[in-house]
Amino acid sequence: MPRSVHRLVPVAVAALTCTALAAGCGGEATGDGADASTTLKVLYRAESHNGVRVFDTVRSQLAAVGIRAEGLPMSDQGYARVLRDPERAEAGDWDIAIAARANDGADTTADFLGPLVGGAAAFPPTGSNFGLYENPDTTAAVAEARAGGDSPAAAAAWARADRQVMTDAAVYPIATPQQASYAASSIGDRVYVPAFQNYDPTRVTKCVGDRRGTTCVKPGSAENRTLHLVGAGDVDVMDPNLSYYSIGYLGLRLWSRQLFAFSNDPGKPAPDLAVAAPSPQPVTLADGSTGTAFRVQLRPQARWGTTPARPVTGPDVLRGVKRTCNPVLPFGGLDRYRDLIEGFDAFCDGFEALGPDASVEDVATAVDAEVPGLQADAGSVTFTFTRAGMTTADAVGLLTSPAFAPAPQEVLADLPGRLQVPNMVASGPYRVQSYEPGRSIVLTPNPAWVAASDPVRERHFDQVVVDQTHPNQDQALKLLTDNSPRADLAWDSFVPASVVPRLVKADDPNLTFGATYALDPYLVFNTSAASELGDVAVRRSLSTALDRTALVDAVGGTLLNSPLTHLLPPGTLGSQPYADPYPYDPERAAAVLAAQLR
């Protein structure tokens, strides 16, 4: 989970500029200028305040050990395109990526760590193993942990996978943060949801001017009937089954419903389209082994915002799940359930054979194919999983992912990930009126939505406007602190780390800290053969050249962040704190790297 952002080696080839990499660069490539024989290309989001500060700090630290860091700042969508293409890593187009791994709180380890380090099955675009890291011991530990659900044995296996990844220095964790969120003083009923790293936009209310206690004197005024969100970047993809970033999840909350919804209580998803959490039923699979089935009953009043309105049905859910393994733009967490649903792996093999240039007609035909583990009628859907003894908590944790959201038949008129506004059919309280990528999203009430059918969302506005045109987080925050009539909530622009101490000192009532259970930020090393960091010894040496204390300071210090020396943040299954395996030692790092990279 979804998630904010996801997803870094000296190379002996000419450095590529950002322009040479791809369209979508956020600025000119930047370098340290040091007289170094080894250059690392560092990919980061130009619109991310933390990304820029972490790059500056990494560049300084690497220069101290004789390595030049060349910055490759990119737009959010350009960054995602590069990281989700494994051929870019295999070609050595980037060496280090400054990344963040959000945690949706639904299944706090399987969906968090598995797609990150689960071997070839987790390579992009179906997973988030962007550095192409592989170790059979890690892959086996991940498989064992997944099979164990939330048992003590599973926790031990996750901890073993964590330690192996750190032994292999595949990534460099920096911190697990609290999210500093800010809202205009007119915003009330703020419910923080860790999966969004933000307030739930369907729950907030607005009162410009005269608020008396909890009562707004003029709740129906024009000013109070429009919600403005301000930021600097866009969603990764405007498609419910394919979005894999926390900012995407935030936007989807407004117009797309799920079987189970992210809640403000991590680890406890709320029934959404589902009437209740389903009970497990042991079943015999086609190969004679034992699996587990779950029948999810759908709320009968849920409707699509079509004319006339149509019920949301079981076949709509199947359509959504099947779309996730399309070859054009597959869901980033596909490896989590690809071999868990009976027959789904074989289905995906056939779908993927169409190739990335599959046509609209090809995709529509493929989605019609039957999958033994996915069955539905008008009012329910049954999932058959290959794991024996799977618990209700296991199933609900998985089904909370937007990958399992229903998809209306209209989505088949466009290629996955390229939905046009008329085919973004809403099931939530709002519908998409307009979408200008990188600029704005405007939503208006969905007349088909029935409040009584939705225990998760509310609707308090005649219009929701997402303004993505602000150049940086500082400008967006200023609009909020100044109580601009065009700024109510942050979109993707959170409180800059440098500003937090001032707001804390002022005891600003509009500042809120929320837990994230995230790995944010961290560095991913490109472990492919195209990079010298394909050598584990070089990765280990490089890790000792990095000063975690300075990197934490760069993103706001310990007021906002807890330094993290391993992958699993506290509070997630299998998290076991242990001593930093790569303590900061720049003098030793410089000497060893000079010999290794000779």
Cβ neighbors of 264 (< 8 A, separation 6 or more) are 191, 192, 193, 194, 200
Query: CA–CA separation, 520 vs 564, rounded Å?
Result: 9
As assigned by CATH, the class of the 18-104+167-176+516-596 domain is alpha beta
C-beta of residue 222 within 8 angstroms of C-beta of residue 201: no
Per-residue burial over 441-452, b = 16 or more CB atoms within 10 Å of its CB, e = otherwise? bbbbbbebbeee
| Domain range annotation of the chain | 18-104+167-176+516-596, 261-413
DSSP state of 409: G
Determine how β-strand 171-173 pairs with β-strand 519-525.
antiparallel
* Residues β-bridged to residue 466: 229, 441
Indicate the pTM of the whole model. 0.73
Cβ neighbors of 401 (< 8 A, separation 6 or more) are 1, 2, 104, 106, 111, 258, 333, 336
C-beta of residue 469 within 8 angstroms of C-beta of residue 439: yes
From first to last of its 598 residues, the chain has per-residue pLDDT tens of 333 332 222 222 222 333 333 334 444 445 554 445 789 999 999 988 889 999 999 999 999 999 999 999 998 878 988 998 999 999 999 999 999 887 644 445 776 787 788 888 788 876 789 999 999 999 999 988 887 777 899 899 999 999 999 999 999 999 998 888 889 988 989 998 888 888 999 999 998 766 665 667 666 677 789 999 999 888 989 999 999 888 899 999 999 999 999 988 766 889 999 999 999 999 999 999 999 999 999 999 999 999 999 999 999 999 999 999 999 999 988 878 898 999 999 999 999 999 999 999 999 999 999 999 999 999 999 999 998 888 888 899 889 999 999 999 999 999 999 999 999 999 999 999 999 998 999 999 999 999 999 999 999 999 999 999 987 777 888 888 888 888 999 998 778 777 888 898 999 988 988 877 888 999 999 999 998 899 999 999 999 999 999 999 998 888 889 999 999 988 788 998 889 999 999 999 999 999 998 7
Which 3 state secondary structure label does DSSP give 228?
A: strand
CA distances from 230 to 351, 470, 490 (A): 38, 7, 5
Helix, strand, coil % in the chain, rounded to nearest 5: 30, 20, 50
Pick the CATH number of 261-413 from 1.10.357.10, 3.40.920.10, 1.10.10.10, 3.90.76.10: 3.90.76.10
Shared fold status for 18-104+167-176+516-596 and 261-413: no
**Alpha carbon of residue 356 to chain centroid:** 23
203: nearest Cα among 214, 193, 195, 213:
193
Q: Residue 308: is the preceding peptide bond cis (ω within 30°)? A: yes
Class of residue 152 by CB neighbours under 10 A (exposed 0-12, middle 13-18, buried 19+): exposed
CA distances from 427 to 106, 225, 242, 423, 479 (A): 21, 21, 16, 12, 31
Give the length of the chain: 598
